[in-house]
A and B are shown apart, each in its own frame.
Chain A
Amino acid sequence: MKKMSMRTKLFTVWVFFVTNFKRLFRDKTAIFFTFLFPLIFLFVFGGISGHSGTSFKVAVVSSTDSQYYKDFVTSAGKDKILKIDSKINTLKAAKEAMTRGQLDATIIFPANFGQLKDGHPSGQAEVLYTQNGAQAGQAVQGFLQTRYFTPVNAGIIKTTTPFVAVPKQLNDKSLSSFDYTFAGLLGFAILGAGIFGPINIFPELKKMGILRRLHTTPLRVWQYFLSIMLGNAVVGLMTLGVMFAVAMTLFHLKVVGNYFELAIFLVFSIVLILGIGLSIGGWAKNERQAAPLANIVVFPMMFLSGTFFPRFAMPIWLQSVTNFFPLTPVIDGARLIATEGKHLTQLGPQLGIMAVWMIVVYFIAFRVFRWE
């Protein structure tokens, strides 16, 4: 009896992958859900966050005309994240506007802002906000600090202390809600392809007896799974690539991370989430079994892992629970690499959680898989 070599077994995987890959592009419904559906979400959510989410209405009350203050006003005008209401320029008017909810916060530049102190210019701008506007106020304060002052400070340190290491702009606290929105949408696309794909296709293949037929051949479950993984990884990267391209051209997403690391991370994510879909779809005998189970698994991730609602706005206890959902490190990791320029080596916690889930999910997938 001839034994199949590993090369032959992988050839089998390759043929299955190629056949199903070609098939996808003949299926209009599949193309819609694979490529256009995530883009629709991107436009909807990108649109929302572009107009309200990312910008804060502020008033600037200044008692100085220092160059640092002027620079701030010019660059804030270009940035469009802080929308300065130029009609309000007294503290009294600003306070009134805030209580009416017209403004998110008021930035006060005192007279000594930008004056020399201990040999270099310094100053303390005050961010004023109301009690119920605390969240926006703190965001404005954080944004002001990281986006405008940190780079300026970095510049000052560079000139005054020559022995300091090269200063680097810190991205990790900069607050752009589109960064969050986009990472969430990436997560949503991965979730959709990885889970809704298999749970729709498998019961259909079982109903038609296609898997049963394959079961009568020497094809192994791992070969079948691997061909699906390969397909999902390639198609997934294409989908996500399109999303990145659209986000970068239309929504001014700035990718500062390494594309190769990003691609590796996304493939790892796609394969992980696919494992959940393979478990459910592979186990379910029919759609009626697959759909409810998929919903139970998908909905918590959809709402709590940061797809549509940023996790930083959730209570701490909820964050600490949802930290361990499989999709959370996917979304966080994608954002950390893409928009914050982190490297894979810096994503220990995310990759760790994902690795554990990977083992759990595929252990289940192989255990519960049924050919019919």
Chain B
Amino acid sequence: MKVLLVIQLQEASGLAEKINQYDEILSWFPSGYGVDCFVCSQADISKKELEEAFENTVYYFRPGVLDIRENLQGIAHRAIEDGYGGIICIEDGCSNELAVLLAQQLKWSYLTNVEEIQLEEQHLLCSKLVYNNNVKAKVVLPLEKFVISMAKQKGNQNRVPLRRALKVKVEKPEITASHIESSCLVCEKSRKNHSHVLIAVGRGMKSKADVCKIREYALKKGYMFGVTRPVAMNGWAGIDEIIGVSGSTYGPKICVTVGVSGSAAFYAGIEQSEYIVSINADKHAPIIAMSDVSVIDDYENIVEDLWKYI
């Protein structure tokens, strides 16, 4: 059986980030399975880059407009034409959306946000997190005719691949009428600095000024900075600063949380941290048990002194 692995890329430099997940997925399927890649990107990616990144056959699809339906048509066409039995979409901004649309169109079974896939005799057994990331669900899908989208990748180790794809085929999109009249990039993704220290603040902060002060300190030191969703929704930080299921995930050596209660959805964004330090006035806050060490005190009594040390 053949599986088509879909990778949506916004820029050529994003290729390296996908390799870990690609490798992991390859390891779940025994050699009898042929795992090919379908790379959708408006960016210019050279044949050589694609050859060195993946194995087997690579399809390179360049959509004309930013319309998820164009990728959808391209992938569905290839899956049917070449007899693929399953499609797996590697995590991207739109992978869940794409997977469900594909499944609806092909009338195949589907599951989103999958963490792990196990092959059983009669089924695929997939794991995913539900109940705000507090509970792991094991979900059954058929061995054929499935579409899966993977959950956000954890950790950030990027390995340089050493392999050679058998062939790279360039796919041409069909020009279809779109309901999108125009599309314009108004703000490019901010480049997050990579540091060994992450400072995260939560809704325990008393004012926007306090959030800004901690952000200023973190950036001055070259540390990474982020907030919980309620802080961003309160207008005290940018949406691109959210940590967790609906934001970014980090894996620093040290993560310092300040005034964070510790919802599982937030924790998903820091759980790969080697060491978690928390400052919280509430000794019953869930984050205390999820940290390596905590100080139970008002953050105003702590942070100024703490910044002298870290």
Q: Do A and B bind each other?
A: no
